[in-house]
Amino acid sequence: MQYDSAVMTALSSTEKTSTITLVHIARRARVSPITASRALRGSSLVAAATRDRVLSAAAELGYMPNLLARGLVQNRTSTVGVVILELANPFFAPMVSAIEAVAARRGFLVVIGESGRSEEGERRHVERFQQLRIGGIIVTTVTGKMDHLTQARAAGTPVVVMARQWEEGDFVTADNVDGGRQVARHFLERGHRRIGLIRPDEPENTAMQARIQGFRRTLLEAGIRVPEPSDVRTPATLIEDGIEAAERVLAMPERPSALFVTTDRAAMGVIQRLLARGVRVPEEIAVIGYDDLPYAACTQVPLTTVAVPMRRIGELSAEILFDRLDGVGPAAPRQILLQPEFIVRASSP
């Protein structure tokens, strides 16, 4: 095999800085160098007992791998890139934590990028990750446009879409249509007929649109429509957006008796402003959110919501990515819809 000058320099550096190589570890563990390499990378192709033996041998010998040399030889680094919409959004924290845990078991580092809900930002991160020869990429997409992900995959970089759907590729998300359906059923079962909707103005957010689709469809089956004035659009999903939306609801001549707010953050803002203006929740206006953020149960009126299995989404996204890196599993796209759970609390008992 012929290496270019950069590879030879990195390999030479490894020899100068350490006398312990994969060959030494393989001999100590009584395996081939290839098996030793796979075990150190956490590959699922190596049996657990063999991997433990290799790791033990590496620890005994004080082996310290040169990740630069490995990346040059393999044309990829032991790094996973993750692109999410907002670093400050608690919705993504359990997902990223789960990815980090899976990656750590495989000997990989995780690099996080924030798209800022910008398609340009998302594409820039994906491109830069490829330039860095990152092992694979997990993306929460801003829009339904996936051409840059298709191109990255065609160039040899595994890609998994997280918390969104990808018609032609691997994805893990919640069944948001069913989540919206559960909200509508809850309101109908409790006799609500004047029902409002508060949602971000994000027509290309496929997860959000799925929630709304399931909600509207179920209401229509019962002969109920959300009146245009009660369909309140907000710029984003922040608490401040919920506060502003609540003011618009309070100004309506005929207020809804129930509100579906499509994210917990905005729902908390809605409840805060309703209470501040003397409107009782849920007696006068019931409120349901979506996501089940960690503090949804700790608000002044604990929030009824749809729980998205956030940590499981991250975990499965990472597992699929590493299966792709190891070349295991079906070649066809792996597409997983997880069941959301309806959580009843005081804001709509």
SS3 readout for the chain: CCCCHHHHHHHHHHHHHCCCCHHHHHHHHCCCHHHHHHHHCCCCCCCHHHHHHHHHHHHHHCCCCCHHHHHHHHCCCCEEEEEECCCCCCCCHHHHHHHHHHHHHCCCEEEEEECCCCHHHHHHHHHHHHHCCCCEEEECCCCCCCHHHHHHHHCCCCEEEECCCCCCCEEEEECHHHHHHHHHHHHHHCCCCCEEEEEECCCCCHHHHHHHHHHHHHHHHCCCCCCHHHEEEECCCCHHHHHHHHHHHHCCCCCCCEEEECCHHHHHHHHHHHHHCCCCCCCCCEEECCECCCCHHHCCCCCEEEECCHHHHHHHHHHHHHHHHHCCCCCCCCEEEECCEEECCCCCC
Angle (CA) 204 259 193, round 5°: 115
Residues 108 and 85 grouped into a single domain: yes
Report pLDDT digits (tens) over 34-60: 998 888 877 878 999 999 999 899 888
Residue 333 falls inside a structural domain: yes
75: confidence class by pLDDT, cuts 50, 70, 90: low
Residues 237 and 149 grouped into a single domain: no
Q: How many structural domains are present in the chain?
A: 3
Could you list the residue range(s) of the whole structural domain that residue 69 is in? 5-73
Question: Of 33, 48, 73, which residue is a domain's last?
Answer: 73
Distance CA 229, CA 245 (A): 12
Residues 35 and 97 grouped into a single domain: no
Q: Per mean pLDDT, which range of 56-60, 299-303, 318-322 is the poorest?
A: 56-60
Residues 152 and 115 grouped into a single domain: yes
Residue 294 falls inside a structural domain: yes
Closest CA to 160 of 340, 334, 339, 328: 334
Question: Of 53, 73, 93, which residue is a domain's last?
Answer: 73
Burial 32-48 (b: 16+ CB within 10 A, else e): eeebbbbbbbbbbebee
Q: Do the beta carbons of residue 288 and residue 259 sit within 8 Å?
A: yes
Residue 346 falls inside a structural domain: no
Residue 348 falls inside a structural domain: no
Write the Ramachandran bin of 2: left for phi over 0, alpha for psi from -120 to 50, otherwise beta.
beta
Residues 293 and 185 grouped into a single domain: yes
Q: Over 60: is that where the pLDDT of 12 sits?
A: no
Residue 49 falls inside a structural domain: yes
Interval 153-167 mean pLDDT: 96
Interval 143-159 mean pLDDT: 95
What pLDDT is recorded for position 59? 86
Q: Per mean pLDDT, which range of 48-57, 166-175, 195-204 is the poorest?
A: 48-57
Q: Do the beta carbons of residue 100 and residue 30 sit within 8 Å?
A: no
Closest CA to 133 of 159, 102, 156: 156
66: confidence class by pLDDT, cuts 50, 70, 90: low
Residues 329 and 280 grouped into a single domain: no
Q: Over 80: is that where the pLDDT of 9 sits?
A: no
Residues 212 and 111 grouped into a single domain: no
Residue 165 falls inside a structural domain: yes
pTM surpassing 0.95?
no
Interval 234-245 mean pLDDT: 96
71: confidence class by pLDDT, cuts 50, 70, 90: low
Residue 186 falls inside a structural domain: yes
What pLDDT is recorded for position 3? 40
Q: Do the beta carbons of residue 330 and residue 142 sit within 8 Å?
A: no
Residues 161 and 230 grouped into a single domain: no
Residues 301 and 316 grouped into a single domain: no
- Residue 61 sits in a domain of what CATH number? 1.10.260.40
Residues 60 and 155 grouped into a single domain: no
Pairing of strands 231-234, 195-200: parallel
What pLDDT is recorded for position 62? 83
Q: Do the beta carbons of residue 262 and residue 208 sit within 8 Å?
A: yes
Residues 193 and 296 grouped into a single domain: yes
What is the average pLDDT score of the chain?
91
What pLDDT is recorded for position 70? 54
- Residue 277 sits in a domain of what CATH number? 3.40.50.2300
Q: Do the beta carbons of residue 158 and residue 129 sit within 8 Å?
A: no
Burial 11-27 (b: 16+ CB within 10 A, else e): beebeeeeebbbebbbe
Residues 287 and 327 grouped into a single domain: no
Question: Of 28, 53, 73, which residue is a domain's last?
Answer: 73
Residue 239 falls inside a structural domain: yes
